[in-house]
Structure 1
Amino acid sequence: MGVLKLVLLGLLCSSLVSEIAAWGRRRTQPTERISGSAGDVLEDDPVGRLKVFVYELPSKYNKKILQKDPRCLTHMFAAEIFMHRFLLSSPVRTLNPEEADWFYTPVYTTCDLTPNGLPLPFKSPRMMRSAIQLISSNWPYWNRTEGADHFFVVPHDFGACFHYQEEKAIERGILSLLQRATLVQTFGQRNHVCLKEGSITIPPYAPPQKMQTHLIPEKTPRSIFVYFRGLFYDVGNDPEGGYYARGARAAVWENFKDNPLFDISTEHPTTYYEDMQRAVFCLCPLGWAPWSPRLVEAVIFGCIPVIIADDIVLPFADAIPWEEIGVFVDEKDVPNLDTILTSIPLDLILRKQRLLANPSMKQAMLFPYPAQPRDAFHQVLNGLARKLPHDSSVFLKPGEKILNWTAGPVGDLKPWKLGLIIIIIIIMMALQIQTPITAKASVLAPPPNSNAGLRRPSNRFALKSSSSSFFSSSLNLLLNASSLRPLVSASPRFSMRVASKQAYICRDCGYIYNERTPFEKLPDKYFCPVCGAPKRRFRSYQPSVAKNDNDKDVRKARKAQIQRDEAIGKALPIAIVVGAAALGGLYFYLNNIF
């Protein structure tokens, strides 16, 4: 009995698809203009209706970020990049901020990608806050409205809530400093904390050139009834499928994986774009967010979008009649999806296809570079123009403040790019340690009678004062306390008195010279009587000298201690640099986690 039903269902599918294909061949897919105000709005020209001033920010907020990772040009959040490029050469741009209707701040907050190409929004709030602090301190226009005449492009999964997980995004809410600004975002869901009233919902970015190369002849029959490629379960985050897409995708798979009307799979073939052009209906279910690039792809390829996302706010909803070109299915009705789609009258299907064939409809979903009339850039400007003129409530009274600059998670209040500054400071401090060493070495250098052609010795032990407890006592013995005083650039004074007797120690073996003849009077060719080290290897020795200090055992122990301290002196600068790098790495890691 089950086999018979399957056969009958297959025959129904074949006859339905054949009938639609036959209609297509007879009518050759004519286009149909959208009736009413929606069609007029799509073809509006924003030029002459508004003027936009583009802030010139330091390149660290945009161009340098893109140079670091060019993949940002092709991911579905790239609208922020292309909107910036468009406005720089757009006729609506004004260089006089006094005559501007709107102000645009070019910040690439989504261009921080993982190796897999997914954006990490953890730094985005600090980056946005930093940019707003910059424009509010360098220009007067933010402060007079607190951003009410400014717009920002925030194409994150959940817009200006800046998190890819809905629970975290709801917990965070929209960045407090953007509460009065107009947000241009891909996310749109009614009654959601991440969608602010007055926001302009835009389509995600889809590469126009890439899709253009995959176009097939318009008369190709649509032989696939329902098409979908994508995940049904997010195994890594929600293996049961009850939370991911609120269970809608899992319901599609469990109910229709064996249905011949449905061509659905997790595989993404190279003919993906061609297959969409051969399909009548293309499923556009929600994922972690309610929107996806499939909506753009379906419209561009003339495949009727089946939108499965309750309360979704679709792109340019005031201009595009989504009810007329798409099919809306409640998430709870997904198990009846086959019945819903097969019950749609053929005439209605063909009308939806004719509307989708309208060039204005397709153009409104794309961000081409260079821009073209009636494209998504112009639809954004049309949306901004429809908000003009600004209401008097936009402008604040003298001394009036509305926004709370200290609101939000503690992590958002940390300065952006602080990690790099900390690393630079630490490394500079580490390098500056070498400065006093050079000065001290000049004091501890051999006397003027030493060999002129010999390299000046460096005092590798002069990293700490003699009073420091960090080094051993033998290292402190090598340091002359008087030599640690700052050098004074005074003229040398001469005296007829004979220099006082001073002991010297050989750094190679620990032998102490404490003879009657002052060490300074010894010839340059003098060498250590124990190890044969030249005169330049001796350093002044401050402690009092005992009679047995040159005994073999005492001298051997002193030599071992000198070698240990010398090794510490060599390793300490390296340890400082490594520690600075570790601190920097830890800081950036914590930035990405929190």
Structure 2
Amino acid sequence: MKSGGGGGGGGGGGGVICSLSIGLVSAVFGASITVVFLLGYFSHKPINGVLASFYTPSQPQFNIPIVELLAHTRPPDHESRAHLLSSEFSSKFKPAGTRRAGNKLEQGLARARAAILKAASGTSPSIIIKNNDILSPAIYRNPTAFYQSYKEMERRFKVYVYQEGELPIVHDGPCKDIYSSEGRFIHEMEHGNNRFKTSNAQAAHVYFMPFSVTWMVKYLYKPNTYNVTPLKEFVSDYVKLISTKHPFWNRTQGADHFMLTCHDWGPKASQGNAILYNTSIRVLCNANSSEGFDPTKDVSLPEIHLYGGIVNPKLISPPPSNISRPDLAFFAGGIHGPIRPILLKHWRGKDTDLHVYEYLPKDQDYYDAMLRSKFCLCPSGYEVASPRIVEAIYAECIPVILSDHYVLPFSDVLRWEAFSIQVDVSEIPRLKEILVAVSEDEYLRLKEGLRAVRRHFILNQPVKRFDMFHMILHSVWLRRLNLKVG
């Protein structure tokens, strides 16, 4: 299990968690939270006379509501005066300048919503951005809505990064190996030259808590104990710190705050604060809808394994489409979780067209095998996410997703059926039959989809438009659009 690793180096983290411990109780005041489908942002149904859609009527859909927070300060009688002052400052007695700034932000978001909804009501033609840069309806649920939303994000979206916390657990993260997407995002928000970070907290739409769960496991976790309490305590202390020092958490009950982690134990760490777990935006690789991941507010983060911090050179320029791929399908990986044993039981060494291994033979190269195959099998391990999905995208090897309850990354805007195949776990015995039934035309269509979607899963340095950093931010932006702060 990946989450059991991370092991050593406990000494350095202890001082960080102690420095975050504070005596005050987090200022959590009573609020009336009314969930209303005011915008119906991801539904094609008319809501309040507005056609809100990234989807066409013939496509699958799920509703993501706006949350309207109506703050009524009612701190319990036993709370300290410090607690009361924090609550009062964040709501009832906010300075007029702060209220005006908030109103300006909300007015800008309202204009953004209106522009996106107007774009969404169109016929969803291909969008030519410049030259041959095309956003096609083949891979997007609604390319006009997505492009308008993306432009609105570039124009307006501001992120405040909290300065609280000490290295290495805060303001740092892994930039290579299995949890690269976690560290790369943290580093870009901390040090990148992007247009989204703001030093003016009053001008921010969202607030980023830049702690690394991966580094918590490395520095705070005692190996082989499976005791995640130190992780939860760190998160609890961090939220207490920012919620007593700043007004922003209490102002929205944490709904406009987000964390990001790719570690398997990210969801468990977020349980350190109930509001963070239930209300804040959690950007997680472990996007398991059966274990508390809520796609109406949480964001699915792609898992990318960068050995040595770079994409394997063999995957940078995969063979052109006219080069034959002789193997039907490929998988090599250890027996982790409940799905892989089923795959290995039915197909390991059973068919010369399906190359399924627990351990890849020493005379074979993993990436060469991907590049020889039409389909790459991507079963979940102990947790739902798999770096094989992104590796398959890079290799232009059609991902065959074998998973239960996995909310796929960027599925708000991407049509995963345009560049991957999802097979129910119960259908694994019929896997060859399913893959052979894919016609040549359909296979070529899926490959074209992979080629078009690849840029959304690339970690560029420096970042580029529509790359993974921007797609993660866009997912957060969408959830902030669905939050109306009263």
Q: TM-score, normalised by structure 2?
A: 0.63
Partner of 1:462: none
| Larger strand fraction of residues | 2
Q: 2:247 aligns with which of 137, 140, 153?
A: 140
Any conservation in 1 of the 2:295–2:407 contact (CA below 8 Å)? no
Q: 1:42 to 1:87 in 2, by over 3 A?
A: farther
**Partner of residue 184, structure 2:** 82
CA 1:332–1:308 in structure 2 vs 1: closer, same or farther (change >3 Å)?
Answer: same
Per the alignment, residue 291 of structure 1 pairs with 385
Aligned residue identity for 2:376 = C
Aligned residues: 336
2:234–2:272 CA contact under 8 A, matched in 1: no
Report what 1:107 is aligned to.
Answer: 211
Contact 2:378 2:389 in 1 (8 A): yes
For 1:134, give the aligned amino acid. L
Aligned partner letter, 2:195:
P
Deviation of residue 119 (structure 1)? 10
Q: Are positions 1:380 and 2:472 aligned together? A: yes
Say whether residues 1:266 and 2:358 are aligned partners.
Answer: yes
User: 3-state SS of the aligned residue for 1:58?
Assistant: coil
Using the TM superposition, give the Cα deviation of residue 54 of structure 1 relative to its aligned residue in structure 2, in angstroms. 0.9
Tell me how far 1:224 sits from its aligned partner.
1.3
Match of 1:224 in 2: 327
Separation in 2, partners of 1:64, 1:54: 9
Matching residue within 376, 392, 395 for 1:301? 395
Indicate conservation of the 8 Å contact 1:42/1:374, yes or no: no
The C-alpha deviation readout for 1:305-357, integer Å capped at 9, x for no partner, is: 11111232100101221112111111111111111111122211111011111
Q: Is the 1:102–1:151 contact (alpha carbons within 8 Å) kept by the matching residues of 2?
A: yes
| Alpha-carbon shift at residue 97 of structure 1 (Å) | 0.8
Q: Distance in 2 between matches of 1:295 and 1:317?
A: 14
Question: Aligned in 2, Cα 1:386/1:79: closer, same or farther, shift over 3 Å?
Answer: same
The verdict on how the C-alpha distance between 1:194 and 1:317 changes in structure 2, with shifts beyond 3 A counting, is closer
Q: Distance in 1 between matches of 2:312 and 2:374?
A: 18
> Computing the radius of gyration over CA atoms, which structure comes out larger, 1 or 2?
1
Instruction: Give the Cα–Cα distance (whole angstroms) in 2 for the partners of residues 49 and 212 of structure 1.
Output: 37
Q: Work out the CA distance in 2 between the residues paired with 1:289 and 1:101.
A: 31
Aligned partners of 2:314 and 2:367 also within 8 Å? no
On the 8 A contact 1:94/1:100 being kept in 2, the answer is yes
**Secondary structure at the counterpart of residue 377 of structure 2:** strand
RMSD (Å) for aligned C-alpha atoms: 3.0
CA contact (8 A) 1:174 1:193 kept: no
**Partner SS state of residue 75, structure 1:** coil
Identical columns (%): 24
Q: Is 1:329 aligned with 2:430?
A: no
Verify: 1:185 aligned to 2:291, yes or no.
Answer: no
Q: Give the corresponding residue for 1:95.
A: 199
Distance change in 2, residues 1:273/1:104 (3 Å): same
User: CA–CA distance in 1 between the matches of 2:425 and 2:326?
Assistant: 26
Corresponding residue to 1:319 among 405, 409, 413: 413
Deviations along 1:530-573, one digit per CA (max 9) or x if unpaired, are: xxxxxxxxxxxxxxxxxxxxxxxxxxxxxxxxxxxxxxxxxxxx
What is the deviation of 1:191?
A: 4.0
CA distance in 2, matches of 1:366, 1:119: 33
Amino acid at match of 2:198: T
Which digits, 9 at most, give the CA deviation of each residue in 1:97-148, with x for residues without a partner? 1111011111011123499999985532122122212211221211212211
User: Following the alignment from structure 2 to structure 1, what is the Cα–Cα distance between the partners of residues 249 and 374?
Assistant: 49
Alpha-carbon distance between aligned partners in 2 of 1:117 and 1:293, rounded to the nearest angstrom: 24
What is the correspondence of 1:420-435 to structure 2 with a 5 Å cutoff?
Answer: none
Question: Contact 2:172 / 2:187 at 8 angstroms: preserved in 1?
Answer: no
State the distance in 2 between where 1:390 and 1:351 align.
Answer: 33
How far is the alpha carbon of 1:152 from its aligned partner? 0.7
1:362 paired to 2:447: no
Deviating more after overlay: 107-116 vs 123-132: 107-116
Q: What does the per-residue CA deviation read over 1:394-442, in whole Å, with 9 as the maximum and x for residues that have no partner?
A: 46xxxxxxxxxxxxxxxxxxxxxxxxxxxxxxxxxxxxxxxxxxxxxxx
Q: Identify which of 193, 200, 203 aligns with 2:299.
A: 200
Aligned 8 A contact 2:279 2:297 in 1: no
The CA distance in 1 between the partners of 2:171 and 2:157, in whole Å, is 30
Q: Partner residue of 2:274?
A: 176
Equivalent residue number for residue 342 of structure 2: 251
Question: Hey, what's the Cα distance between the residues in 1 that align with 2:332 and 2:232?
Answer: 33
Structure 2 unmatched runs, 5+: 1-133
Q: Deviations over 1:483-522 (max 9, x none)?
A: xxxxxxxxxxxxxxxxxxxxxxxxxxxxxxxxxxxxxxxx
Q: CA shift at 1:387, angstroms?
A: 3.0
CA contact (8 A) 2:371 2:395 kept: yes
Structure 1 residues 250 and 80: alpha-carbon distance in aligned structure 2, compared to 1, 3 A threshold: closer
Separation in 1, partners of 2:145, 2:224: 35
Distance 1:174 1:58 in 2: 16
Q: 1:341 aligns with which of 435, 448, 458?
A: 435
2:304–2:387 contact (8 Å) kept in structure 1: yes
CA contact (8 A) 1:186 1:291 kept: yes
Query: Is the contact made by 1:160 and 1:174 (CA closer than 8 Å) also made in structure 2?
Result: no
- 1:185 maps to a residue whose letter is L
Q: Which runs of 5+ in 1 are unaligned?
A: 1-30, 67-71, 163-171, 235-243, 396-594
Distance of 1:389 and 1:73 partners within structure 2? 30
Shift of the alpha carbon at 1:153? Answer: 0.5
Matched residues in 1 for 2:372 and 2:258: separation? 39
Look up the equivalent residue of 1:230 and give its one-letter code: G
C-alpha distance in 2 between matches for 1:41 and 1:185: 25
Higher RCO (CA 8 Å, separation ≥ 6 residues)? 2
- Deviation string 1:51-85 (CA, Å, 9 cap, x unpaired) is 1111112323536875xxxxx32132232321122
Question: Structure 1 pair 315/389, CA: closer, same or farther in 2 (3 Å)?
Answer: closer
